[in-house]
Structure 1
């Protein structure tokens, strides 16, 4: 595909090729958009994901070197072979980041696009699946709609290079080299078509159709099934945080979650009445078990009126009084809502009247702005106006066709079955975008209604840019077994590597029992909490989840409240309590990091290459991660005490292997022993704890005795300094649950430890917010290596901080 001509425009370079044209446009010095089309003009469709605009201050230069064109910004350059049109990407220092094959790496293949016609010959089949109400249209006529293209973008990745991203999928892949993945929305699949490389760059394919990733015998590429053109962004880091910042420059800021959303969220399938909801929260308070939210799952509506966004008046007779009772106990209420609606429901009838349904006449059309407004109106009138605090937008990949039968279809078969089902009702170019638009409607509706509650939307699907709508994505209806738990760790890390910061899961697995006639209902524990093997699995899952952006228990088949796992003084109960309380002790640390998500495009849940990219030994470590800058989390992913059916395990070592990355010393959080980085060790892992290490040169602000996220009964702040090297941390506070932080109503305090002078400095408080305490009582605790270099010596000093710079000498 030789270059025939090129035109250097002020905003972009346009290249005429043998069979099409390309446009290279800088959005800033590190983010470049590349389009390739065979049409006379480039597509003018607005992106659903990209909201960022090219920086007016950014410019580019062009050099014609005879056999190649070189497109240059201040931070990267693209060298384009004139004979083949292949691209090679370099950083400003001339280091090769990645390249396309020498023959060229961009392909457009013409395809015919068909649309469904729903007429008098179509009929509807209504049924109940494991995922709730399903309505399927049959005898659908297809008609030709337009021409489009199958796209392909090929690369030659370097030896030793690692790739992450593409969202959250169920297979437990981490480093995607040598793998393949199919990107379509489905239960246990959340799509974000972004790759991040350890060589310091990212690739964002702006496509909403079925996407395939390959790095195997079939090639190394990203491809999309139906698009007007090939449209992608190349993002230069080199660090992963910088790549994430580039993604959010394009797709929008991630707003702050409210502080309460970092607390413990109690859910199960399901609480059935107002009385049960209130009684459960009351028991948490009476037992002094910290809690911030309780969840009302499906069938909160009357009878079989699936998807109706009002509460059953028989079981929830006083919804306003109910939410007031919960709020008085410092608990929020999250309610699940669905995009599919029973035709007998008032919500369905209203949506039908305004022609707001898709072709199955049951699922609302989130692609219509009018339908999104009606959907929010219903949610507001039936739920939000009664005091509901948060949304669980379930089933946001509203079409599935293979959650049935005893045998799970193979990956390619599943891809075809489910994507074909979605294409019955959605344009094949848009099958991955439903959740994005659905989330937009909830976010914009609530923000127009009130600025006093931050939007929290727990949802099962995702797409690039969805994070700007206050969403938390969970990994779907997973099963309770050790293999599933282990796979969840890399699944979540890959999701967060794409720039979407909020991810969680069902602690303990959704399906706990095994039903052989349903392939997906494949838990290992038919006796649920009565099986000591399940109690051990649940404890280990809970310990891992204490370090996720949202900390939430949920599932069917067995109860989930803390006291269901034993009594105080018993090992399983007390192990859960230890990590429940630790989560709340870390609240000041976590909330400060959430502020960085918004202000600095930070990522809390961090694959090790985020912080240790130069240590290649981290590239395939798929069961450890950083929780913020300080904590190295190492979940236990195998049974040590009990097998299925409470069968004791004899002779099992109570340790797990941990790699400590190069470049830091590491302090055991529990025992305060110091270890050098760059080594693998067998760390103690008894039931009551998982290996947890603190990076030297860290500052951890903590609190004690909290029963909910904004509990101020003990106002003292405990600031732990982990010495060995200098450290800094920005402590953040605001009102906790409104959007005034966007206009600057918050306060920060810089905290700095100087290892050389042994001086800890609290900087001047910057900013203010309503209700801000004038004085902070702070205890500074110094942890540092002892004379032998291994043990820890401790020192603590109290401080009365009144907002002015304060220096504490050690």
Structure 2
């Protein structure tokens, strides 16, 4: 597009060319919103992902009119616009190139017809039950032309040493997106978030809800969207990844606090079938002194075949309120699976149908209608929440996947067409990726409307930009038990959290354990289930990895998942699971402080190495290691060392793995050995050992052994503050009441911990803030890695200084 003229207005700069209009608005000093249309005006449709706008006039910016280009500048970055082609280039204030469009111009709009579906009610419905639940398809379908919109294409010329991360969680195991191609549509094992981050120091957020594709391959380097009223995206400058994520959440909203218990261990399987089984399982955990915070009630909690009815079967759950009272007396929570699809015959379905709140298949509720969302919550409240149920598992939140059948997995292009075309039958083609976002909105707003005393926890199988503001955790779908899948999942979690969505998890041990040749997706390697030593080894490695995820949750079909299914006390496999289960709980002060940082500082706890080592090119493609918070580098073991399928003993395998340590010094967590980084090391990795390193310049708070996250041991219980020296360190200890929204009104406390390497002193700063029930005195034991001894201090809220010389070998830990 050739620029003909431009004008400034109260919101930014409008560029008028021979092929449409462009508008640049400064949403913040580091954020620009860019829109492009061929029409005479821009769309006035409300964004679903962008929570709020900031006054444009508060951003300081300038516009220079040069001979060949315009130059729009803020305090942080510059956009240069070529007058001949309207090609954009983005630079930092020092003039260094961040990214640019091709010189011919990088924005393309192509008009497209948008068709909707009219349903002939006499055409009938086809319903079936598969591995992925109930599916209902309308047969009487007529398509009609609804309107015109655009295919959009946004092209880039990325730099040779540039790495890109994000776009959500997919199954292929892509971390660095360079040289890759990805389809962006919602499906089991695909959770889309249209955001990517660059190691050059910027991010792109695409405000679109249609089918998309990402390319950096022989076909070009671009983002393409299927149906949009206009091109609408945000350029977000960091340069650090934490700053880019802060920009994403500035636009899409912050993440609320999840309850403390949600960071404990969550036990699930397909499925617990009765009130008695749920209670007995929790009792067994307590009898064995195995920490546990939540147990999960999977699908078919309803009566008979009334799929999606949000009430419990009275034969198997005769007294829900008493069940919940008993579970709560055992200090355990209950999460219940709820579905957006409902089978004809139940009260929930009848109410939705009578009010016209069902989509065209007459089974899935229309989450795009506000009143339908309210009714869905009301049904959830009246059938479940009123009994004291604690959390939601919004399964199948991408309700129109259609390729989970047959022995042969369709090709990627086929899968994209099968699933996106199925979704377009029932949803506006412009919004097929947004169902989960609005479904989560209804649950969050509904629960918050009835109580502030219980935080919303919503485990969803799908996601979108902005969904995190509704108390969601996304899991990666129904994956299969094999080492290849396990390894790929590491990259998927990192890709998801790089988008600014902080909470991701998976089924520890995978959902499908057996192999069913007649179904392409049921591809586990272990028909013997938990009795197979090969599966036990895989499960242990998966469990070790799960300790360092935002949600620590075991789930799956084919075989049970309770700790005692993998051995008995005194046996190596059982004892190893217990070791890591207890480690998760000892880390609770650290983990909950990270959760506080997610809310207070827009932090990301599950971190690709580029978050902390963006300029280390050697770290860009490492997809099997990650940072968990600022301290821990985690290197999961992703290959069998002891057993293959059918308990086959493996001979001659090494019991170690290669780990890349970025620059600086690192401590082996298990031995306190100090190692220099900037190189690969061979780390011990026998069955009992997860390679785990702590960055020099870290402070890690560790709690006592507890049985559930909110347990408050005896008043003399101590929190260990372990310093890993080598450089200065800062960590903010956070705490609040654990499960209400009082923190939004300031009911929380923070203590800044700081280590001075020069003075070899730890300062425990003044306690800032307070909350109901806060202990007035805290007991700390300070340790320094590599240094014998410890120092016990009694802390009453005022700043304390602990010197290295204060450490005493006689202090009992």
Q: Deviations over 1:258-288 (max 9, x none)?
A: 1000000000000000000000000000000
Q: CA deviation at 1:54?
A: 2.6
Q: Deviations over 1:245-267 (max 9, x none)?
A: 00000000011111000000000
Match of 1:623 in 2: 624
Q: Deviations over 1:98-133 (max 9, x none)?
A: 000000000000000010001245321011111111
User: Are 2:795 and 1:801 aligned?
Assistant: yes
User: Are 2:329 and 1:328 aligned?
Assistant: yes
Match of 2:700 in 1: 700
User: Are 2:39 and 1:39 aligned?
Assistant: yes
Q: Distance in 2 between matches of 1:130 and 1:752?
A: 52
Match of 1:463 in 2: 464
CA contact (8 A) 1:588 1:701 kept: yes
Moved more, 402-411 or 709-718: 709-718
SS in 2 for 1:40: coil
Match of 2:811 in 1: none
CA contact (8 A) 2:507 2:554 kept: yes
User: Are 2:765 and 1:763 aligned?
Assistant: yes
CA contact (8 A) 2:437 2:464 kept: yes
CA contact (8 A) 1:497 1:607 kept: yes
Change (3 A) 1:703 1:27: same
Match of 2:807 in 1: none
Q: CA deviation at 1:307?
A: 0.2
Match of 1:789 in 2: none
Q: Distance in 2 between matches of 1:651 and 1:489?
A: 26
Residues 212-361 of structure 1: matches in 2 within 5 Å?
212-361=213-362
Match of 1:773 in 2: 775
Moved more, 710-719 or 730-739: 710-719
Q: Distance in 2 between matches of 1:713 and 1:51?
A: 41
SS in 1 for 2:419: helix
In structure 2, runs of 5+ residues without a counterpart are 805-813
SS in 2 for 1:103: coil
Q: Distance in 1 between matches of 2:28 and 2:725?
A: 38
CA contact (8 A) 2:121 2:140 kept: no
Q: CA deviation at 1:795?
A: 2.7
Match of 2:508 in 1: 507
SS in 1 for 2:766: coil
Q: CA deviation at 1:705?
A: 1.3
Match of 1:720 in 2: 722
Q: Distance in 1 between matches of 2:413 and 2:54?
A: 38
Q: CA deviation at 1:588?
A: 0.1
Q: Deviations over 1:12-36 (max 9, x none)?
A: 1001111100000000110000000
Q: Distance in 2 between matches of 1:607 and 1:247?
A: 17
SS in 2 for 1:487: helix
SS in 2 for 1:423: helix
CA contact (8 A) 1:694 1:722 kept: yes
Residues 302-701 of structure 1: matches in 2 within 5 Å?
302-662=303-663, 664-701=664-701
Q: Distance in 2 between matches of 1:279 and 1:104?
A: 65
Q: TM-score, length-normalised on structure 2? A: 0.98
Match of 1:75 in 2: 76
Q: Distance in 2 between matches of 1:738 and 1:17?
A: 53
User: Are 2:205 and 1:204 aligned?
Assistant: yes
Q: Distance in 2 between matches of 1:139 and 1:277?
A: 43
Q: CA deviation at 1:71?
A: 1.0
Q: CA deviation at 1:10?
A: 2.6
Q: CA deviation at 1:139?
A: 3.2
Q: Superposition RMSD on alpha carbons, in Å? A: 0.7
Match of 1:788 in 2: none
Q: CA deviation at 1:43?
A: 0.5
Q: Deviations over 1:426-466 (max 9, x none)?
A: 00000000000000000000000100011000000000000
In structure 1, runs of 5+ residues without a counterpart are 784-791
Match of 1:153 in 2: 154
Q: TM-score, length-normalised on structure 1? A: 0.98
CA contact (8 A) 1:114 1:146 kept: yes
Q: CA deviation at 1:171?
A: 0.2
Q: Deviations over 1:331-375 (max 9, x none)?
A: 000000000001101000001111100000000000000000000
User: Are 2:101 and 1:100 aligned?
Assistant: yes
Q: Distance in 2 between matches of 1:241 and 1:749?
A: 21
SS in 2 for 1:493: helix
CA contact (8 A) 1:26 1:54 kept: no
Moved more, 112-121 or 732-741: 112-121
Q: CA deviation at 1:697?
A: 0.7
Q: Distance in 2 between matches of 1:773 and 1:146?
A: 62
Q: Distance in 1 between matches of 2:149 and 2:433?
A: 17
Q: Distance in 2 between matches of 1:573 and 1:717?
A: 27
SS in 1 for 2:649: coil
Q: Distance in 2 between matches of 1:459 and 1:357?
A: 21
SS in 2 for 1:583: helix
